Structure 1
Amino acid sequence: MVTNNSKGIIVDRLTSMAVFVKVVDLGSFVAAANETGLSPQMVSKHVVFLEDRLGATLLNRTTRKQSLSDIGRAYYERCKIILGEAEAAESLASDMRRHPRGLLRVNAPKTFGSLVLAPMVTRYLARFPDVEIDLVLEDRFVDPVDEGYEVVIRIGNVPAPGLVAVPLAPYRIVVCAAPDYLARFGEPKKPTDLMHHQCLVFGQSALSRPSCWHFYEDGKETEVNISGRIRSNDWLTLMRAAVEGYGIALGAELIMRDELAAGRLVQVLDGYDVPIRPVNAFYIAGRRPTAKVRSFLDAMVEAFGPEG
């Protein structure tokens, strides 16, 4: 509450209230000046500013003593409440900056969010019981400022003006299939062999549109047109189809890690490189991250951060 008084001097009303309360508590302008580090004249100006603003006398002054007017007594009690609330608000803000608490809004791609991020979120909430998370999963690149997100996770090289990136482990892409599928149809030995296999296609386009997988060996790129009976924009659907032996899948090792470790899927063509996609968590530049944002980003780096 900053106000211009009648003489054009900018005055902080909360400061004036605090000075006024000090004058009343300590019994004199001089004592209040010594306590606040102001001159007695400046202490007097703060009180006069309040009286001018209210159009009423707060302190009855004589050369020997001072006393509160009826209005001054009521105003004094209310000032103590207002100053206490202001101090509590500052203390709460400071505490929230030091200790994670409050609602955290996070946006992430659907597949990464449901299969990778969700388990980390529940572990994070167990560590920080004063935090709530609103996790929204969608594949479009949202504007965190306009849409109110504090953390945004994105895969691939995406433009991020006004955002600060926290690198996470990149998507390492692998090709895999169920042991049953490989027993029935054989294992591809080179990328072009995939043209003779059922491949599980990730995407939203029509089945008649060809899809390509890209491979590298010794810096040389091989582009393979693949096809299959199942196409879906939901990776969990494709992974389940792969586990059940319906074809060969290409996807993030991070997502298929459990299936590979359990032997339900087997990696093939591991001698060939597949393009790696960067993964980043973003927060808004120019804003000092709150404790909940910092702790969430730290938890992400710990779970799947840059070294994987």
Structure 2
Amino acid sequence: MDLVKCMEAFVITVKTGSFAATSISLNTSPQMIAKYILFLENYLGLKLLNRTTRSQHLTEFGKQYYERCLFILGEIKSTKSLAQQFSQEPKGRLRISAPISYGQFNLIPVISRFMKCYPKVNIDMQLSDRYVDLVKDDFDVVFRIGSLNDSSLIARKLSDLQLIFAASPSYLAQNGIPSIPDDLKKHQCLIYQYVTPTKKDNFWPFTINGKLTNIAISGAFQSNNTTALAAAAIEGLGITMLPESVLNESIKQSKLIPILQDFLPPPRETHILYTADKQRLPKLNIFIEFMVNAMS
């Protein structure tokens, strides 16, 4: 016998006070309602109702079981509602935050495919290299690069981001090609300017003999924009360290040449983060799964 159907009959019986009224509500017979209640009692091994010829009352256990049934049936209804939401076409606005270069070079191609699949979803993507608070700044999802701080947010891992080193053919022809990281002391390095500057800004990470090593660098040009740094490298102003995705096209066109490839730093982890909300709308759930599938 259907356990949920029996629980539903029990709850309605408690509310209406009779098998006859419950049978009308469930479009069945009073005898069938009695069988539902009896099945529950046999299943549980305890009486739920004390019945007389004129009335029926909940047992002490029946009172507690009634409250649990209300909760369980409510959750079942909520689950059905969630399934119905997923069957609907996703629509509405999604507000997204991502680091500038990651958004430009990594996310835009994937988001464009997402929007072609789900044309009724509008994307509001805010690009910034500052740390944003997903809840306070009213974002649906944020993309983060690097190690994560402990938080109540859910993090889904995406493909790692690889930093590489490159310079223009003209710069390397004039200044020579560095063969080891220490050679950079003799070169102009194009320095990324972080939102919150630290002493680490003037160090680049390398993998030397299997270990992560920071090497001091210097240069006459610095910027807080990766596109500007890539353009400066193409113009021959020095050596740059940027994500591979930012430099790939320029390398293919021979505008830049990758260097020090035997000393690349470990890839940086990348995640998509969102709140642990059980009632997320279909547009957000579908977007998250789309991005994870496309970028993992």
TM-score, structure 1 as length reference:
0.65
Larger radius of gyration: 1
SS at match of 2:135: helix
User: Which residue is equivalent to 2:272?
Assistant: 281
Q: What is the aligned length? A: 231
Identity %: 33
**CA distance change for structure 1 residues 267 and 138 in 2, over 3 Å: closer, same or farther?**
same
Shift of the alpha carbon at 1:194? 0.7
Match of 1:175 among 150, 155, 165: 165
**CA distance change for structure 1 residues 210 and 276 in 2, over 3 Å: closer, same or farther?**
closer
* 5+ residue gaps, structure 2: 1-11, 13-19, 31-79
CA distance in 1, matches of 2:200, 2:161: 25
Check if 1:301 corresponds to 2:292.
Answer: yes
Check if 1:237 corresponds to 2:228.
Answer: yes
**CA distance change for structure 1 residues 187 and 148 in 2, over 3 Å: closer, same or farther?**
same
Match of 1:228 among 200, 219, 227: 219
**CA distance change for structure 1 residues 134 and 183 in 2, over 3 Å: closer, same or farther?**
same
Match of 1:151 among 115, 131, 141: 141
CA distance in 2, matches of 1:94, 1:220: 49
Report the more deviating stretch, 172-181 or 282-291: 282-291
Please report the RMSD computed on the Cα atoms of aligned residues, expressed in angstroms: 3.3
Q: What's the CA shift string for 1:78-135, capped at 9, x where partnerless? A: xxxxxxxxxxxxx997654333222111111122112322232222111111111111
Amino acid at match of 2:151: P
Match of 2:241 among 235, 241, 250: 250
User: Which residue is equivalent to 1:52?
Assistant: none
Amino acid at match of 2:252: A
CA distance in 2, matches of 1:283, 1:217: 36
SS at match of 2:166: strand
8 A Cα contact 1:214 1:274, kept in partner: yes
TM-score, structure 2 as length reference:
0.67
Match of 1:127 among 106, 112, 117: 117
**CA distance change for structure 1 residues 284 and 160 in 2, over 3 Å: closer, same or farther?**
farther
CA distance in 2, matches of 1:210, 1:158: 20
CA distance in 1, matches of 2:134, 2:188: 40
| Structural mapping, 1:1-308, within 5 Å | 34=24, 36-37=26-27, 96-98=85-87, 99-204=89-194, 211-305=202-296
CA distance in 1, matches of 2:248, 2:90: 31
User: Which residue is equivalent to 1:27?
Assistant: none
* 5+ residue gaps, structure 1: 1-10, 12-29, 41-90
**CA distance change for structure 1 residues 144 and 223 in 2, over 3 Å: closer, same or farther?**
closer
Q: What's the CA shift string for 1:13-41, capped at 9, x where partnerless? A: xxxxxxxxxxxxxxxxx99963644999x
